[in-house]
Amino acid sequence: MLLLSKITSLLLYPLSFSLFLLLLAFLLRLRGARARSASLTLIGALWLYVCSTEFGASALSRPLESAYPAFANEELPAAQAIVILGGATAESRYGLGGDLNHAADRLWRGAALYYAEKAPLIVLTGGTLTGGRPEALLMAQKLREIGIPDTAMLREAESRTTRENAQFTRTLLQARGISHILLVTSATHMRRSIALFSAQGFSVTAVATDHQIPLTAGPVPGWLPTADRLARSSRAIHEWAGYQVYSWLGYFSPDESAAEA
């Protein structure tokens, strides 16, 4: 199922999809279907352009982000645990504790919630797909460096998907009687994450971070394509595809064990 979700996303990414259309257009041209070839070439080029503009990136991200605005710590309720989803760090060839990426806000927001005494426990989730150190361990090292004690952290270091994040976190927390969590992840990722953690029987308060839609216009006009806008579109498409695949597979319905918890 991990492979199905990854392949679906990969095929729908703007760059991959556009290259596929251009390849198909080339093959059609070789067979003499010039009109169809021209149409597919135009569609592929336009889709890549739109997804590389601010209009395209915001149009894809806004429905995911708008339901989960940012809240100050004092606006959030206290809970039993703070759950930080992986995706903020990666094993580095040279760095001692891994490198942070565009989603690093997840890690720092979770730390801020702990220091604001919103929960006494932090759960760090994320395994590895590459054979390096699990992401949960990399995140724990970063948090230790800013003073969070090991006794306040649980590491869930086996999961490879968001669904496994939820399942394995439930295994960790069920014995402790923990049901209400502050779930920290990127705003575009929150819709899928809440559905999966709720299906495991958790009462979830969303703490969305890493909002991608800019509040003010930047120096680059919105109609000009940029690599950052293309990356934002790709991340949004990944979430739309992931949500749909998980929905088809029935992952958002509580399983029998979760219903008994």
How far is 65 from 48, CA to CA, in rounded Å?
Answer: 22
The single-letter code of the amino acid at 191 is R
Return the CATH number of the domain spanning residue range 73-211.
3.40.50.620
Mean pLDDT of the chain: 90
Domain edges within the chain: 73-211
Confidence at residue 211, expressed as pLDDT on a 0 to 100 scale? 95
Confidence at residue 97, expressed as pLDDT on a 0 to 100 scale? 59
- Report whether 201 contacts 260 (CB < 8 A): no
Q: What is the pLDDT of residues 198-210, one digit of tens each?
A: 999 999 999 999 9
Question: Residue 36 to residues 23, 30, 42, 235: CA-CA distances in angstroms?
Answer: 12, 11, 10, 30
Question: Residue 200 to residues 6, 79, 171, 259: CA-CA distances in angstroms?
Answer: 22, 17, 10, 8
How far is 43 from 17, CA to CA, in rounded Å?
Answer: 10
Those residues whose C-beta lies under 8 Å from the C-beta of residue 12, and which sit 6 or more positions away, are 237, 241
* Phi and psi at residue 192, to the nearest 5°: -65, -40
Confidence at residue 5, expressed as pLDDT on a 0 to 100 scale? 60
Q: What is the pLDDT of residues 85-131, one digit of tens each?
A: 998 887 665 555 568 888 899 999 999 999 999 999 999 999 987 77
Q: Are strands 99-100 and 122-125 parallel, antiparallel or unpaired?
A: unpaired
* Phi and psi at residue 63, to the nearest 5°: -60, -30
Can you read off the two tokens belonging to residue 87? 């995706």
- Report whether 81 contacts 121 (CB < 8 A): yes
Confidence at residue 92, expressed as pLDDT on a 0 to 100 scale? 61
pLDDT digit of tens for each residue in the chain (261 aa)? 555 566 777 788 999 999 999 999 999 999 999 999 999 999 999 999 999 999 999 999 999 999 999 999 999 999 999 999 998 887 665 555 568 888 899 999 999 999 999 999 999 999 987 777 899 999 999 999 999 999 999 999 999 999 999 999 999 999 899 999 999 999 999 999 999 999 999 999 999 999 999 888 889 999 999 999 999 999 999 999 999 989 998 999 764 333 332
Question: Residue 72 to residues 69, 116, 119, 173, 205: CA-CA distances in angstroms?
Answer: 10, 11, 15, 26, 13
CA angle centred on 127, ends 198 and 143, rounded to 5°: 90
Those residues whose C-beta lies under 8 Å from the C-beta of residue 105, and which sit 6 or more positions away, are 88, 186, 209, 210
How far is 235 from 240, CA to CA, in rounded Å?
Answer: 9
